[in-house]
Structure 1
Amino acid sequence: PCPLPLQMLWLLVLTLPCLGGSVPVTSDPGPGTELVGIMGGHDAANGKWPWQVGLWFLDPTSSQWNLRCGGSLIHPQWVLTAAHCIPGRNPVTRDFKVQLGRVRPSYSDSVQVARIIRHPKYSLENGVSGGADVALLKLEAPVQPSNLVMWIRLPPASSPFPPGTRCWVTGWGLIAPGELLPPPHNLQEVEVPIVANEICQQQYGNVITDDMLCAGSEGRVTCQGDSGGPLVCQWRGTWVQVGVVSWGPQYCLPNVPTVYARVTSFLPWIHLHIHSSP
């Protein structure tokens, strides 16, 4: 069975793309599944995580908009999410919209995506287990900051976030294996400790690469539906984003950490696109 990312599944009636075939979301996703859900969390207050966004995707088969993934606003006009949240070899920008400033899913006032950039090292064939699971989305127009909408800072390249550092992850995904976030689908938050890559490798084998970061503790991890969402930590009195929800164990095991794309590994690529863009 192939790796499944943590895409939002509670609104998806889709099967997930996997190595050219399709896998029903109920099937055994194998050792590395793309994740999208918070286990052990609780409701987030309005405006507490103002950089959290929801990524909506127009399902070509049903012609319905579905909340597919999370993401984060990292600049007035740019969103950071997971590469596996963008299906297909040639994604079309008009099929994607971004919800800002809301703790409950709402497509009504979402912003159109104008440009999609998957990391060049992300492999559609290998999926999340190949690493480089990051993508940038440029919005049609810059957003105005408010008490509900604000971008998150990126960490300095040298910033140390040692194992045990307490950070927070947010998302709308499953709250237990096979259990959808119940109405009114309020954004969930959970505090998780960073786990050393060496410890993480003991759980997953040697698939944990340098551009990945692990976090989670007993009963506090992500599950299907949180993909693309931000892992944020306090650094010198301000919040910075250190990870992007990428993948995790099959069945959302409560004692196995979630794997994130390590943001510091991609800073040059992120800055290149954000600052060279007209």
Structure 2
Amino acid sequence: MPLRTVFTTLLAGLLTTLGTLAQAADSPSARIVGGNQAPADRWPWMAQLAIDDPNLPGGYLLCGASQLSPRWVLTAYHCTQYQNDALATANRMFVYIGETERKGTSPQPGRIPVEAIYRHANFNNFSFAHDLALLRIPATSNNQWPSLADNGTFAELEGRSLNQRDEAVTALGWGQTGSGDLSVFLREVQLDYIPKNTCQSLSTLIIPDSTICAAELNPVNNINQDTCFGDSGGPLFIGEEPNPWLVGLTSFGLENCASGAPAGYNHVTKEIAEIERLTTQGGVPLVDMTISGGTTRHYQPLNGTQTITATLRNNSTRNTATNATVSRSLIGSLTTSAHFDWNGCSTLISASRCTVASNLAAGASRTGNVAVTDSSGTDQVVTLTLSASADENDYRRRNDSLTQEIVFSDNPDLALSAAQQTSSPTRATVALTLSNHSPLNAATNTGISFPLPANTQLVNGPALGCQQSNPVYCPVGNLSPEQSEILTLEFTTDTGINQAFTFTVNADQNDIPGDTDTQADVTVQYNATVNTAASDSSGGGGASLWLGLMAMLLGVRRQRN
């Protein structure tokens, strides 16, 4: 059943009830139960869609949506239908962007008319496959919106462990909250991502290939969470960042929201080609510009020059990028400069952008260089940012910039890490790794110092040549460029109480400016299991509950008529 909601001033409850009774027991139902009120201004690209349905005098249909660019809003296909499934017309659809309070169809500040509707060519009104549509709107001033997840981003989500999938995705909406009423204010909910290869076995609905799934499999304090009626078309995205990776659009689920069964979300990553086609059809094509390079940190001596090689690519599936451009910005001293060494670009230091191709076809790329020169004569870390753009707007802005650091220094680049290795009731070992990342400069007379907690002894201190003062100092020796050394410390205590250690690097030379990795903190645990990173248990008891839910649903699974 679609997760769209009918709303009228007087008959909201009655209409919702009648709509529910009209659905088959296991048909997909178009819909935040649980969750929290969303922070104001956190997601300024979040949109609400109000449809003036001529079959609902005094009422309207409510859906969510996401702004992708100044001219495009992305929502579910079924959100562009009236209650009787007839196709809605653009003149009866209105959008509000960045508003946290639910609005309606009546004229009020912030209401944006829809110019045209572009629907997925292969939408299935029975299975809700390819439940996607684009709304063209007049240009808006908002310049912050999500990025559509690419194959690599989605594969990373799909390949996460059970523990990592717990509350890995966030949904937004103004839909029903469990009381039967729509929410007045925008709400958010964090859900567990369910891999595609297990979603079907957890649901009594047919899950199309164009659908991904999410649910709350291990509710905290027995508070169930889900999307529900009125949330249709809204975003499902990874994490809680303001400019996230968008992976899904709320599409359908069982009528009984927050039952633990998965809800279906349109699989945005699989729809990229159609999104490009529809935006081209609408006269305002979107593209995917990327810029990439190699190593993110480079090293040069004082007053040196570093050449950065980068590749500008039109990563679109079909759309051509017009006036593909590279822009640069530089953070460093006033005597640091940069210039393009790119075919067709000006080599003047004053040139901060360069159009490398008037037309860059889908899949085509251009490679060039930017040279960064230091004339300050002092240690510094310079940051160069390269950005890709075109005349068309980008639907994946998260990958259209490249940041490179250039270290101009005659000093080493030291870094320290610490990890507990073994544990017993009175003994523990900690491994310290001291590295010199600089490929140019050596570090001499390096060592590590740390305060020794009360009732604690460094057992192997004499063997390591440590000075048993407080703080303790243990020598490491000279480190050549790009060399690392491991120092293993063995501690004993007569209390068995966990102890916090802070280890600090010492050397004849200074470290590079602004670095914070020459200090490492670790809490030493006695009589505890260490190296628990490989453990795959969820804090909410996800594994056992997952299996229990699977067994329960398999017992009632059936095909829809």
Q: Same fold by TM-score, threshold 0.5 exceeded?
A: yes
In structure 1, how many angstroms separate the alpha carbons of the residues matched to 2:205 and 2:262? 15
Q: Secondary structure at the match of 2:52?
A: strand
1:75–1:152 contact (8 Å) kept in structure 2: no
Partner of 2:172: 170
Q: Which residue of 2 aligns with 1:20?
A: none
Q: Is the 8 A contact 2:234 2:250 kept in 1?
A: yes
Per the alignment, residue 90 of structure 2 pairs with: 93
C-alpha change, 1:143 and 1:246, in structure 2 (3 Å) is same
Matches within 5 A, 1:104-115: 104-107=101-104, 108=108, 109-115=110-116
| Aligned residue number for residue 103 of structure 1 | 100
Query: Quick one: distance in 1 between partners of 2:150 and 2:89?
Result: 32
Residues 133 and 14 of structure 1: CA distance in aligned 2, closer, same or farther (over 3 Å) = farther
Deviation at 1:151, TM superposition (A): 2.0
- The answer for the alignment partner of 1:257 in structure 2 is 262
TM-score by length of structure 1 reads 0.83
Partner residue in 2 for 1:181: 182
Between 1 and 2, higher relative CO (CA 8 Å, sep ≥ 6) is seen in: 1
Is 1:204 the counterpart of 2:203 in the alignment? yes
Give 1:237 deviation, angstroms. Answer: 9.6
Corresponding residue number in structure 1 for 2:238? 233
The match for 1:6 is 3
Query: CA 1:188–1:123 in structure 2 vs 1: closer, same or farther (change >3 Å)?
Result: same
Tell me how far 1:10 sits from its aligned partner: 4.6
1:217-266 per-position Cα deviation (integer Å, ceiling 9, x unaligned): 14121111110000011499951110000001121143112110000010
Describe the shift of the 1:14–1:90 C-alpha distance in structure 2 as closer, same or farther (beyond 3 A): farther
Amino acid of the residue matched to residue 5 of structure 1? Answer: P
Aligned equivalents of 2:252, 2:33: Cα separation in 1: 14
- Read off the aligned partner of 1:261 and give its amino acid letter: N
For residues 235 and 83 of structure 1, do their structure 2 counterparts lie closer, same or farther at Cα, with a shift above 3 Å needed?
same
Q: Do the aligned partners of residues 90 and 260 (structure 1) sit closer, same or farther apart at CA in structure 2, a change above 3 Å counting?
A: closer
Residue type at the aligned position of 1:32: S
**AA in 2 matched with 1:268:** A
**What's the counterpart of residue 76 of structure 1?**
70
1:59 deviates by: 2.1
Partner of 1:190: 189
Aligned residue for 1:34, secondary structure, equals coil
CA contact (8 A) 1:33 1:248 kept: yes
Q: 1:96 to 1:65 in 2, by over 3 A?
A: farther
1:1-33 Cα distance to aligned partner (Å, 9 max, x none): xxx200024558589xxxxxxx92241633233
Match of residue 31 from structure 1: 26
SS of the residue aligned with 2:95?
strand
Contact 1:167 1:233 in 2 (8 A): yes
1:40-76 Cα deviation digits (max 9, x unpaired)? 2110111112121111111213444625211110111
SS of the aligned residue for 2:5 comes to coil
Distance 1:237 1:69, change over 3 A: closer
Output the CA distance in 1 between the equivalents of 2:256 and 2:239.
30
1:262 corresponds to which letter in structure 2? H
1:18 aligned residue: none
Which string of whole-angstrom CA distances, capped at 9 and with x for unpartnered residues, describes residues 131-184 of structure 1? 111111111x111016xxx322111233222251601100011111x62135xx
Counterpart code for 1:200: C
Q: Structure 1 residues 239 and 10 mapped into 2: Cα distance closer, same or farther (>3 Å)?
A: same
The 3-state SS of whatever aligns with 1:232 is strand
Q: Cα distance 1:130–1:181, how it changes in 2: closer, same or farther (>3 A)?
A: closer
Counterpart-to-counterpart distance in 1, 2:274 and 2:140: 22
Identity of aligned residues (%): 27
Coordinate RMSD, CA, aligned: 2.8
Note the residue ranges of structure 1 that are not aligned, 5 or more in a row. Answer: 16-22
Residue number among 225, 245, 251 corresponding to 1:220 in the alignment: 225
Unpaired segments of 5 or more residues in structure 2? Answer: 218-223, 285-561
Query: Which residue number corresponds to residue 132 of structure 2?
Result: 134
Would you say the 8 A contact 1:43–1:189 is kept in 2? yes
CA distance in 1 between counterparts of 2:262 and 2:205 reads 15
Report the residue type matching 1:142 in the other structure. Answer: A
Letter of the 2:248 counterpart: G
Q: Counterparts of 1:213 and 1:254 in 2: how far apart (Å)?
A: 18
**Distance in 1 between the 2:37 and 2:242 partners?**
23
Larger Rg over CA atoms:
2
**Count of aligned positions:** 259
Distance across 2 between alignment mates of 1:237 and 1:227: 20
The one-letter code matched in structure 1 to 2:63 is C
Moved >4 Å (runs of 4+): 10-15, 234-238
Distance 1:143 1:211 in 2: 30
Q: Is the 8 A contact 2:119 2:278 kept in 1?
A: no
The CA distance in 2 between the partners of 1:237 and 1:112, in whole Å, is 25
Whole-Å separation in 2 of the counterparts to 1:122 and 1:69 = 18
